[in-house]
Structure 1
Amino acid sequence: MQIYFIRHGRTQYNLEHRFQGGRADSPLVESGIAGAKAAGTYLQNVEFSAVYSSPQQRALDTAKYIVAANHWQPEIQVDDGLREFDFGDWDGLKEDEVQPQSYAPMIFTSPAEYQPELAGGGEDYATFVSRITGTIHRLVDQVGVSNAKPLLVVSHGLVTTMTVKALMGVPLAKLRAPFIINGQEMKTVGHGIVDNDSLTVLSTPDNRQFELTRWNETTYLE
């Protein structure tokens, strides 16, 4: 089984460097729409076993652009387990606006120590990782791990990045550290996540062991 992860297209909040988590949404900007359409063209000949999207509009709109270009026109199924990390009251605020400002770096550097009650509320990393990895395990079970057709998941930067790292055995404390595969540091953007409209692919023979076959691919956006 292969799992294709697409991060949603660029949004207005992305441009404004605002927290855009599970409680916030912002429309795709022109470049985000163009990127989603490019991803759709790139994947137009891939027959998916199923397509799942986060319920948040930026992800769902991205999924719609991708499916619109696909020869098989698969149905998009919405799954709340794919919702982005919940930043609590910090959602929608600019990174330099949140209070206490002195605690803000913790969310970007120290996932094991981050305490949402000292920030804006919302999720801690352990809860988040349990939710998103559990969701992927469940979706793989639903389509069948022996299915020859890949599963498409359209979601968010943290959902994609942290799901892949966690499923590959990266411990909680290292989730925000550089991602090293075979001695090579993998490409990331802002605070160590995958690019907007990027493609990342995991493969698994048994829904327990996972191998990275593509990471943060953006060649089709150039």
Structure 2
Amino acid sequence: MQLYFVRHGRTQYNIEKRFQGGSADSPLVESGIAGATAAGNYLKQVQFSQVYSSPQGRALDTAKLITAENQWQPTIIVEPRFSEFDFGRWDGQLEKDVEPKDQLDKVMHQPEAYDPADANGGETYAAFVARTTAAVHDVVTKAGVDNPNPVLIVSHGLVTTMTIKTLMGVPVSGLRAPFVVDGKVLNTVGHGIVDNDSLTIVETTDNQNFKLKTWNETGYLSK
């Protein structure tokens, strides 16, 4: 079973460098729409067994643009557990403006030490990856681990990056660290996450062990 993860297209909040977590949303900008369409065109001949999307507008709109290009015209299943990390009161604020600064540093560099109760509300990293990985395991169970047709999950930067890291054995303390696979540091953007409209693929044969097949692929996007 293969799982295709696509991050949503670029949004206005991405451009403005605002926190855009589970309680914030911003519309796709023109390049985000074009990127989602390009991703759909790239995947148009893939017959997905299921297509899942976060319920947040930027992800759901991206999923709709992708499936519109697919020759199989799959339906989209909305899965709330694929919503982005909840930053609480920080959501919608400029990254540079949020307080307290010590918790801002921890949320970006020390995930194991980040405490939303001392910052903004929202959720911990441990709670976040617990819900997203549980959703992945349920998706694989439903589709069938031996299913030859992959599952598509359209979600967010932290969802994609940190769910896959966790599935591959990275502890909470390493979720913001460089992602090293087979001795190679994998490319990321921003604060260590995958690009907008990028494709990442993992594979599992038992719903317990996961192997990375493709990471942060963006070659189909116009530069």
Q: Which range is displaced more, 102-111 or 39-48?
A: 102-111
Superposed CA RMSD in Å reads 0.6
Matches within 5 A, 1:163-178: 163-178=163-178
Whole-angstrom CA distance in 1 between matches of 2:107 and 2:122 = 12
Q: Describe the SS at the equivalent of 1:20.
A: coil
Q: Tell me the equivalent position of 1:40.
A: 40
Whole-angstrom CA distance in 2 between matches of 1:74 and 1:5 = 16
> C-alpha offsets along residues 96-141 of structure 1, whole Å, 9 cap, x if unaligned?
1111133211101011110001111100000001000000001111
Q: Tell me the equivalent position of 1:143.
A: 143
Matches within 5 A, 1:84-163: 84-163=84-163
Q: Tell me the equivalent position of 1:10.
A: 10
> C-alpha offsets along residues 41-89 of structure 1, whole Å, 9 cap, x if unaligned?
0000000000000000000000000000000000000000000000000
Long gaps (5+) in structure 1: none
Q: Name the aligned partner's letter for residue 90 of structure 1.
A: W
- The answer (yes or no) to whether the contact 2:51–2:75 under 8 Å persists in 1 is yes
- The answer (yes or no) to whether the contact 2:103–2:115 under 8 Å persists in 1 is no
Shift of residue 142 of structure 1? 0.8
What is the TM-score of this pair, normalised by structure 2?
0.99
Q: Percent identity?
A: 62
Q: Describe the SS at the equivalent of 1:214.
A: strand
Whole-angstrom CA distance in 2 between matches of 1:77 and 1:171 = 29
Shift of residue 187 of structure 1? 0.3
Long gaps (5+) in structure 2: none
Q: Tell me the equivalent position of 1:213.
A: 213
Whole-angstrom CA distance in 1 between matches of 2:134 and 2:111 = 18
Whole-angstrom CA distance in 2 between matches of 1:102 and 1:168 = 29
Whole-angstrom CA distance in 2 between matches of 1:16 and 1:32 = 14
Q: Name the aligned partner's letter for residue 204 of structure 1.
A: T
Q: Describe the SS at the equivalent of 1:219.
A: coil
Q: Tell me the equivalent position of 1:21.
A: 21
What is the TM-score of this pair, normalised by structure 1?
0.99
Q: Give every structure 1 segment of 4 or more consecutive aligned residues whose post-TM-superposition deviation is greater than 4 Å.
A: none
Whole-angstrom CA distance in 2 between matches of 1:160 and 1:43 = 18
